[in-house]
Amino acid sequence: MPGLLTAIIFIPLAGFIPLALAWRSDRASKLVGIGVSIVDLAVSLVMLAGFKIGEPGFQMVEKINWLPTLGISYQLGVDGLSVLLVVLTALLMVVSLVASWHPIQTRVQEYIAAFLVLETGMLGVFLALDLFLFYVFFELMLIPMYLIIGIWGGPRRIYATIKFVLFTLAGSLLMLVGIVAVYLQSGEPGQRTLSYVELLQRRSLFPVEFQTLAFIAFALAFAIKLPMFPFHTWLPDAHVEAPTAGSIILAGILLKAGGYGFIRFALPLFPEGIRASIPFPIVGQVNLLAVVLALSVVAILYGAAVSTVQRDLKKLVAYSSVAHMGFVTLGAFVLNAQGMAGAVLQMVNHGLVTGALFLCVGIQYERTHRRLIADLGGLANRWPVYTGFFGLFVLASLGLPGLNGFVGEFLVLLGTLAHNVALGAIAAIGVILAAVYLLWMFQRVMYGPLREAYRALPDVNRAEVIALVPLAALTILLGVYPQPLLDIINPTLESIVKLATEPTVLSVVAR
Amino acid sequence: MNDLLAILPELAVTLTAAVVLVVDLAVKGPGRLRALSLVALAGLLVAGIAARPGVIVTPYTAFNGFVVVDEFTQFFRVLFIVLAFIAVLAAEEYSARRQLPYAELIATLLFSTLGAMTIALSGDLITLFVGLELMTIPVYVLAGMQRRNPFSNEAALKYFLLGAFSTAILLYGFAWLYGLTGSTELRGIAAGLASTGLTGPVLVALALVTVGLSFKAAVVPFHQWTPDAYDGAPTPVTAFMSVAPKAAAFAAILRLVGVALQPLQIDWTVAFAVLAALTMTLGNVVALAQPSVKRMLAYSSIAHTGYIAAGVAAAQAGPQAWAGVLFYAFAYGLMNIGAFAALMVLDTEGTRGAALDDLRGLARRAPWPALAFTVLLISLTGLPPTVGFWAKVFVFLPALDAGLGWLAVIMALNAALAAYYYLRVVVYMYMLDPEGAVPDLAPARLVGAAVGLTAIASIVLGIWTDPLYSWAVSAAAPILR
């Protein structure tokens, strides 16, 4: 179906028309937001149904000239890497808007508008096949999230949102310089391009030094977005201050834009750059690949260690994201099919599970208005349904076999062990630590003596159940039977691993 | 006859300014201001139509070489007409509120526009200089138009003294050029310099001309007049004077560097690159600390000068460098005039212009102007999908092509720095509630139209960028390197 991907990206923006008609009515605005996101989810499922499993390349490609003077085009396409992330985005949008039904009572219309713009940006990031187009959507995600945290967030929201924007922007502007440099390197004037598929065939024009610099420029942007240790410091602040739905989207999708960028662009386009060594003070030379792998393992252990000592529930989940994202970079950069498949599954599953965890924390906060673990306790007695959901997601997050969190981490560890046994062994400690901090947290929050003040608080309401059920169902389903996902992603990932490991033939140094 | 046809837009602007003064005498009563605005806007519209391609076959040399009409001229003509149009839109309600002499204000503004347009079509140093004077002298008057306001007087005096000083330096440089080559025509100078080569006296002339024009464009270290002049002048005037004279100064620089000084083949790269880096960094760093939005925008305009100068520095990359400069000048003009206009939705009578605290909660009190202002600020920051983003890209492109990777990186970091203070305005408008008294909203339908138009243009040109860019490319073609 031609135009399907364009439709998926721009249906949320088209939602501005009914949103404007819902003039200032909070209820109608929320209904419009949910309705539009459901329509978009349906269309993305149509795309998933039409997706041909087993083909590694891009499908449903659309191409229109955008800046013919420079040879830049509006180009979209979907492959095994992006198709799941698109559906995940559409799903989490529905979930977060449903979850906003009760908590958001001020400036509702603007809130829905911000989310709709955000959705367009996120979907565009995963579907764009032109680097400029990708960058446009990458930045389009920024301002709505800036407003979502800054307007509807907690007490320190302004500090948190400015930190979030400045961190992200510093990285992405350097990536813009990198993109322009890639454009200039892509051929003689008049034949230059930023089309991803074209660029893959022109990698021989990129000398090693160029690939190294370009990789660093791209990697910085993605490392900040993901976030990788030591660029993660914006994340806990942003998560703690963001409204629940903002946290769901931030953890579920926005971070994935970083992981997606690594796998889609940085690895296949600049494979020589990754293997290159750069001069570094004190140690002399460092290998970039080794640096990324080391930082990934550090992120896994550091994230877990810091999560263990968190007193704030939301901060704990935020730091656990740092650890989980460490698995993503680890799996992507061990450069084998298993590791990369694990990384992609980890992204999808982390999106579902951590989104759900933030939702649960938000539900609990709505009622108790407490986020400090020490202030909570004994809630399991009063909230049986909530306890069931929360427990399920906690177990999935710590990687219990049979639930979806296990599959990705397991594949990443297998891939890492194949690459380097010591590295895999250290990373495995992170899985154990996850069990420690998550179960300990669960015990302190849900069991023990119940506070008098919480005795009358109600269990989950209908809107919350509607938001939780699809996440819970997928958590179980994808844990028991992940094979369909692997069938979808594997052909594409095999080709990406091949691109990332084969040497790019270096002809002449172009400049 | 054809010569007159070649300067039809300029004639239209002149005539409009004259008609405005006559209408001021003829029409009395409550509709006077509106009548004046309509006359000015209609006149600018006519000038815009007269500036469309096809009226005259370009390139066309008129008046014995004093005037050159080519794509470059056309580009800047249209830019200046658009800027004047928006400035007139934004000025009426403000002038009524502050009882400024409105007819004089727009007539003076139109004369200044005429001067800027004259610079764009100059084929001769004399025309260039006359255009420069015709552009700046009215702006001195405009800056001081609020006679009883000491800050306005300060602005006018500072601008006048430093402007006159820099004009003298520039003129002295022109005299040296004439003395060395025996010609004031740009192509004649080029021919003369081709035979003399780069001698000591030529260097002196170059230095004087560069310093003179750097003053006009507010390149660091010749920028000191800018903040006080921009801050003290009445806001509609600030809006205009922060964009048109700057664009005109760069038009003059390109004409001189690209045509008259072309045979010298001097490598400007390092000198201009260092100046550009200093200019953008200083402008941004100082803008960070400004509690007044008007003053912040003034300093940030220095930073934008730096970005444009980076395009000039990248001259080695060929025509696309000039195209980047032209595109940036156009984009900057639109978004900056809109941003200053947005400040006029607040009635800040008796203060020095909107402070950050005055903007608290604006998004609830005036949702549409706040939204438009936000779009303009995002565009000034350089985020997609706005025209400001492409402006930055089109400067990155030649900068990297000319091997100025370090400059591109400094630009990128500066843009992140700028994001802090631009988006801080959004924080005040959207995320903070009013504390204490905030200024009343001014009646601002025309101002709103100006802000809205520039905001919509920022987005439309940010998505549908190719026409403007390919026009900038063809406009850059007549300027050789």
CB of B156 closer than 8 Å to CB of B144: yes
Q: What is the pLDDT of residue A221?
A: 93
**For residue range A340-392, what is the model confidence (pLDDT) as tens digits?**
999 999 999 999 999 999 999 998 888 888 888 888 888 888 888 989 999 99
A283 or B78, which is more confident? Answer: B78
Rounded-to-integer distance, Cα A352 and Cα A342, Å: 15
- Whether the pLDDT of residue B5 is over 60: the answer is yes
Across A289-306, average pLDDT: 92
Residue of chain A whose Cα is closest to the Cα of B424: A162
> What HEC string does chain B produce?
CHHHHHCHHHHHHHHHHHHHHHHHHHCCCCCHHHHHHHHHHHHHHHHHHHCCCCCCCCCEEEHHHCEEECHHHHHHHHHHHHHHHHHHHHHHHHHHHHCCCHHHHHHHHHHHHHHHHHHHCECEHHHHHHHHHHHHHHHHHHHCCCCCCHHHHHHHHHHHHHHHHHHHHHHHHHHHHHHHHCCCEHHHHHHHHHHHCCCHHHHHHHHHHHHHHHHHHCCCCCCCHHHHHHHHCCHHHHHHHCCHHHHHHHHHHHHHHHHHCHHHCCCCHHHHHHHHHHHHHHHHHHHHCCCEHHHHHHHHHHHHHHHHHHHHHCHHHCHHHHHHHHHHHHHHHHHHHHHHHHHHHECCCCCCCCEHHHHCCHHHHCHHHHHHHHHHHHHHHCCCCCHHHHHHHHHHHHHHHCCCHHHHHHHHHHHHHHHHHHHHHHHHHHHCCCCCCCCCECCCHHHHHHHHHHHHHHHHHHHCCHHHHHHHHHHHCCCCC
* Subunit contact B383:A69, Cβ cutoff 8 A: no
C-alpha distances in Å from residue A57, one per residue of A61, A85, A130, A263, A493: 10, 16, 15, 15, 10
CB of A432 closer than 8 Å to CB of A364: no
Q: What is the pLDDT of residue A501?
A: 86
Across A96-114, average pLDDT: 89
Minimal Cβ distance to A170: which of B385, B400, B416: B416
Contacts of B128 (CB under 8 A, 6+ apart): B119, B122, B252, B255, B256
Cβ atoms < 10 Å from Cβ of B182 = 11
pLDDT band at residue B440 using 50, 70 and 90 as cut-offs: confident
Q: Which two tokens stand for residue B290?
A: 């400004």
Rounded-to-integer distance, Cα B88 and Cα B81, Å: 11
B360 in contact with chain A, both atoms CB, cutoff 8 A: no
Rounded-to-integer distance, Cα A454 and Cα B167, Å: 76
Rounded-to-integer distance, Cα B208 and Cα B165, Å: 12
Say if A303 falls within a structural domain.
no
Say if A429 falls within a structural domain.
yes
Number of domains in chain A: 1
Residue whose C-alpha is closest to residue B427's, from A159, A370, A264: A159
pLDDT band at residue A278 using 50, 70 and 90 as cut-offs: confident
| Main-chain phi, psi angles of A77, to 5 degrees | -175, 160
* Subunit contact B396:A135, Cβ cutoff 8 A: no
**For residue range A390-408, what is the model confidence (pLDDT) as tens digits?**
999 999 998 888 898 888 9
- Whether the pLDDT of residue A282 is over 80: the answer is no
A169 in contact with chain B, both atoms CB, cutoff 8 A: yes
Across A469-488, average pLDDT: 91
> Which domain range does residue A349 map to?
308-480
A66 chain-B contacts, CB cut-off 8 A: 466
Residue whose C-alpha is closest to residue A322's, from A434, A475, A410, A159: A434
Q: What percentage of chain B exceeds 70 in pLDDT?
A: 99
Predicted structure pTM score: 0.93
What is the DSSP secondary structure assignment for residue A141, as one 8-state letter?
T
Residue of chain B whose Cα is closest to the Cα of A73: B466
Minimal Cβ distance to B396: which of A66, A68, A176: A176
Q: Which of residues 219-278 of B touch A (CB under 8 A)?
A: none
Q: What percentage of chain B exceeds 90 in pLDDT?
A: 57
B420 in contact with chain A, both atoms CB, cutoff 8 A: yes
Q: Could you tell me the end-to-end alpha-carbon distance of chain B, in angstroms, rounded to an integer?
A: 32
**For residue range B304-318, what is the model confidence (pLDDT) as tens digits?**
999 999 998 888 888
Across A88-109, average pLDDT: 90
| Main-chain phi, psi angles of A278, to 5 degrees | -120, 150
Q: What is the pLDDT of residue A509?
A: 45
B401 chain-A contacts, CB cut-off 8 A: 184
- Whether the pLDDT of residue B458 is over 60: the answer is yes
- Whether the pLDDT of residue A508 is over 60: the answer is no
At residue A80, the 3 state secondary structure works out as helix
Classify the phi-psi angles of B68: left when phi > 0, otherwise alpha if psi is within -120 to 50, otherwise beta. Answer: beta
Q: What is the pLDDT of residue A273?
A: 84
**For residue range B72-91, what is the model confidence (pLDDT) as tens digits?**
999 999 999 999 999 999 99
Determine the residue type at A394.
V
| Main-chain phi, psi angles of A62, to 5 degrees | -125, 140
CB of B26 closer than 8 Å to CB of B39: no
Residue of chain B whose Cα is closest to the Cα of A185: B401
B114 or A459, which is more confident? Answer: B114
Q: What is the pLDDT of residue A189?
A: 83
Mean pLDDT of chain A: 89
Q: What percentage of chain A exceeds 70 in pLDDT?
A: 98
**For residue range A114-166, what is the model confidence (pLDDT) as tens digits?**
999 999 999 999 999 999 999 999 999 999 999 999 999 888 899 999 999 99
Rounded-to-integer distance, Cα B326 and Cα B70, Å: 14
Say if A117 falls within a structural domain.
no
Q: What is the pLDDT of residue B350?
A: 67
Minimal Cβ distance to A169: which of B419, B432, B470: B419
Spell out the domain ranges in chain B: 2-480
Say if A404 falls within a structural domain.
yes
- Whether the pLDDT of residue A505 is over 70: the answer is no
- Whether the pLDDT of residue B370 is over 50: the answer is yes
To the nearest whole Å, the CA of B150 is away from the closest chain A CA by 37
Q: What is the pLDDT of residue A507?
A: 46
* Subunit contact B409:A147, Cβ cutoff 8 A: no
pLDDT band at residue B225 using 50, 70 and 90 as cut-offs: confident
B332 in contact with chain A, both atoms CB, cutoff 8 A: no
- Whether the pLDDT of residue B209 is over 80: the answer is yes
Determine the residue type at B384.
P
Q: Which two tokens stand for residue B102?
A: 């409105």
B58 alpha-carbon distance from chain centroid: 24
pLDDT band at residue B124 using 50, 70 and 90 as cut-offs: very high
Q: For chain B, how big is the Rg over CA atoms in Å?
A: 21
To the nearest whole Å, the CA of A478 is away from the closest chain B CA by 37
A187 chain-B contacts, CB cut-off 8 A: none
B469 chain-A contacts, CB cut-off 8 A: 67, 69-70
* Subunit contact A68:B397, Cβ cutoff 8 A: no
A184 chain-B contacts, CB cut-off 8 A: 397, 400-401
Q: What is the pLDDT of residue A399?
A: 87
Cβ atoms < 10 Å from Cβ of B251 = 28
To the nearest whole Å, the CA of B222 is away from the closest chain A CA by 28
At residue A243, the 3 state secondary structure works out as coil
Q: What is the pLDDT of residue B132?
A: 93
Q: Which of B28-32, B126-130, B200-204, B294-298 has the lowest mean pLDDT?
A: B28-32
pLDDT band at residue A1 using 50, 70 and 90 as cut-offs: low
Q: What is the pLDDT of residue A511?
A: 41
- Whether the pLDDT of residue A510 is over 60: the answer is no
CB of B349 closer than 8 Å to CB of B299: no
* Subunit contact B396:A177, Cβ cutoff 8 A: yes
Q: Could you tell me the end-to-end alpha-carbon distance of chain A, in angstroms, rounded to an integer?
A: 43
- Whether the pLDDT of residue A2 is over 80: the answer is no
Contacts of B466 (CB under 8 A, 6+ apart): A66, A67, A68, A69
To the nearest whole Å, the CA of A63 is away from the closest chain B CA by 16
**For residue range A415-473, what is the model confidence (pLDDT) as tens digits?**
999 998 999 999 999 889 999 999 999 988 888 888 888 888 888 888 888 889 999 99
Interface test with B, best of A177, A193, A218 (most B CBs within 10 A): A177
